[in-house]
Structure 1
Amino acid sequence: MATHEDITERRRIEERITHLAHYDALTDLPNRAMFHEHLRQELAAITDGDEIAVHYIDIDEFKGVNDALGHLVGDELLKSVATSLSRCAGPADFVARLGGDEFAIVQGAVTSPDQVNDLVARVFQAIRAPFDCMGHHLTTDASIGIALAPGHGTVLDQILKNADLAMYAANPPDAAPIASSSRRWTPRSASGGSSRSTCATPSPKGGSKAASRSITSPASA
């Protein structure tokens, strides 16, 4: 016969399993599955004149941290980044860890480009801030790909593909190890064309870092 303690423990285990199905075990942010579900709901709820922005965020040089300092330090860096992203997100924003060194933010109720630009600026500021991880003073940077719905997609796979492509465009394999520019591509044509503007920004302190890049996906056909 099960005791009260047995039932309580079983319930606790079931709740933990349910939580892990929706949240990342390391950072306790929503995981990829929960991110997809939230984004589906946001896409279905878009009304005329409203937009949502999907920000794909890749932490630059994370592999180097793991290789040089070990996975425990790398894990601490990921947890610190997750906390910083949660703090800089707005009340209508949804922050998730997709896996590895990739995060995402679904920015809801977008009514002007300034809102997207402001969030990007806050993300860069948060990620560039030094992190103290197990006694190591670390600085890092990020590449961000942005896709806007409905302009860049109205279904999950389409908007995810465009955000992912934009993120990789923001972090080319031949990127210089030291850079001080912030680049943005903005939608121009349904055929995949894009415009690019460049503005000088101070390099992060503390050594060489990859460029801070924010790329907006070209409009989809």
Structure 2
Amino acid sequence: MTEAPTAAPAALEPRATHLTIEPSILYFGTPVVLLSTENADGTANLAPLSSAWALGRTVVLGLGAAGQSATNLAQRPDLVVNLPDPALWQAVERLAPLTGRDPVPAHKADRFRYEPAKFAAAGLTPAPADLVGPPRVAECPLQLEARATRVRPAADGSFVVVEADVLRVHAAPDIVVPGTDHVDPARWQPLIYNFRHYFGLGAELGHTFRSETPR
């Protein structure tokens, strides 16, 4: 049987020109994470992050070096990566001006305030984790229990890079392909932090040839 020829890709329009710019931030569209860690007194700290990525069973996080999360992970490696959906953006923003550090670090003192009860302040619900100490965020559709295996400072010392092994994944039933262990990409929508603005995803454009959930 003769296969039909593959259609040639449509011609793309090259950009005629670009500007050379020096943006103050490079948050060019990353998922928001609510990171649960454990304080020295056994209470929970909850912090929003905008720098996170995953490869295999490893999650890599970028944290401010002076924050409570970095302090906690240097001493107690358990954590939960909670991934909110777009409906939770206001809860995320309620956390944004809060810090678990007391006193508030000098570089945050003009815009942040100390808050030990982060879950209550954000209107979120702690839920027990199975394998780690810090709680999960019950409202988040996707939650990754993990343990930090490496916490190292960045070159300029302003933040730390955390590598964590994922131990257990919790997913809301409505975002899982029935009868499988696959997250349904048509139903799961991460909250995206795009140059300090919150976004959801648009309509699906297509899927990669490696997708295990083709339409």
TM-score (norm 1): 0.27
TM-score (norm 2): 0.27
